[in-house]
């Protein structure tokens, strides 16, 4: 299975760094660093905010969380 990371969606949305994503979502930078490494730790409202800012569909967000759990 092709591994899709949060960085893929950030790049697609033109977001260049974790800090930029942090600023756009209002999620603290250290928390964002941890979420980028492991999206499964994101709370629902955080994942929804990231999904919205990155232009992800609900399906893409769900797959992102599921794919990381299969590692």
Q: Which residue segment(s) compose the domain that 40 sits in?
A: 6-69
Specify the higher pLDDT residue, 51 or 68: 51
Interatomic CA distance for residues 45 and 12, integer angstroms: 21
Residue pointed to by tokens 């990231």: 50
Q: Is residue 36 part of a domain?
A: yes
In the predicted model, is pLDDT for residue 31 greater than 90?
Answer: yes
Backbone angles phi, psi at 18, to 5 degrees: -60, -35
pLDDT band for position 9 (cuts 50, 70, 90)? very high
pLDDT band for 65, please (50, 70, 90 cuts): confident
Q: Residue 1 falls within a domain, yes or no?
A: no
Give domain status of residue 12, yes or no.
yes
**Structure-block tokens of residue 25:** 């979502």
Type and span of the H or E element at 28: none
Average pLDDT of the chain, as a whole number: 90
């Amino acid at each position: 299975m092709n591994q899709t990371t949060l960085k893929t969606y950030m790049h697609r949305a033109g977001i260049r760094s974790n800090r930029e994503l942090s600023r756009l979502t209002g999620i603290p930078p250290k928390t964002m660093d941890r979420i980028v490494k492991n999206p499964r730790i994101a709370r629902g409202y955080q994942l929804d905010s990231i999904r919205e800012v990155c232009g992800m569909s609900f399906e893409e967000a769900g797959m992102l969380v599921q794919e990381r759990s299969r590692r």
